[in-house]
Structure 1
């Protein structure tokens, strides 16, 4: 994993004049009030100083005390250590999912603090946000789902992907991790629940390789599933149909790739845990040199 992260970052540096891993400069925030608190990119929780609370319409929406970023970090780590203490003696799977949940809640609320926590504790948290815990997360993803992360393209979106790609709010994307959920970590076909893999990989790339978290994109390509248990699960969030194969499948992959490279021609696409097909077909169809690889 660490070698893949460094390899991706190195390729990206060579492919463009600059590498956007640095902290971005000041930005204009058009949101106001509760909309800011509900946006994990801009939300600083109790860290907003009084001047910002007045300017952004936040006064009265937060407790009065202004808590520093460092204190927020310490408070989270105290909660995490308390969780570790309180779950001693419980099955490993229960403990791992509990740790993943507390990190995921932070991710949903305050992305700046989330990535700061990951960077400072990458050796401890890497097994939680990626392997081995991500396997458990993928197996239970439909039940764990709270808010969307990344993008979802499905067989039902055929003919619409070129316009769909512009629904992603970031103007620039450097790194995309793509899966179709067919071969997840030796667990087999997990369908749309495999989205946990791209999310976890990209969080590792941010924390360990310096990718800009505002310029990454996890993607699920949902072409159905042959997992009967998932098809019968009322909580399952993916397409309830057998997995596409052959030319039907390739046409979906081609359309997605064309949409991606039309909008972000310099993006790197990592294809992971895909059906065993050759993506050379995609390169030939698009007649363009594409930056992608499969692990």
Structure 2
């Protein structure tokens, strides 16, 4: 069998489709041509018109969905447009008539004004003859009544003023006697504290502790032990006249605890003791009435030279 016989149905189908293609193309071309297509309108760009469109001087409203003309919306818009146009026309005519009327009235007034006769600026003055003045007869002057002189006023004699009483003399002020200044008692200067007071107290106390203990010892031994017991570390046994140069200085203000030097201790030799206050001193190697050497408390003023007080410095 030939190809056509074997594929007869297919060939027939192809021929049928081919024969329909010109018709479809023609219909499509008609629908895409610009212009009205039933209740639709195709624009120049082959798109279906939608919304408000002005075609051939008229306004149409096309549906936003399928592009068909919405006759109700279009009709209402046309009526509104006509009303607006009529209103504008009437308004223009009224304005024109009003302007013409006003212009006519102005022209009438101008024409009436031109018909009034001109009045001369200068008026003629009519001279009126003067009336002669009437003469009034003079009236004789009235007789003058003589003036009677006034009687002089009586003068009342002035009453003499009563002299003012003399003012009482001012009281004499008693002079104020200034008070005598109060006597000021001079302040007694305070005695400065002795910086060696504590050391002096220890020396005096140590010396008293040696009374009756160091019997038979030399005076220098008693003084050396008293200094050592008071805390003087370099306490040595010296000659009586050497203590002032080694441990202190002479003073005119005796204090308990001072050392007492005698140039002549009563036996033709110098002597050293410890002052304990109230005119008393601790003496070492002091001989009693029996000739025994003892450490005793006796007057600071012993037979012999005057006492010289030494302030210990340590």
Structure-1-length-normalised TM-score: 0.17
Structure-2-length-normalised TM-score: 0.16
Specify which structure has the higher proportion of helix: 1
Specify which structure has the higher proportion of strand: 2
Higher-Rg structure is: 2
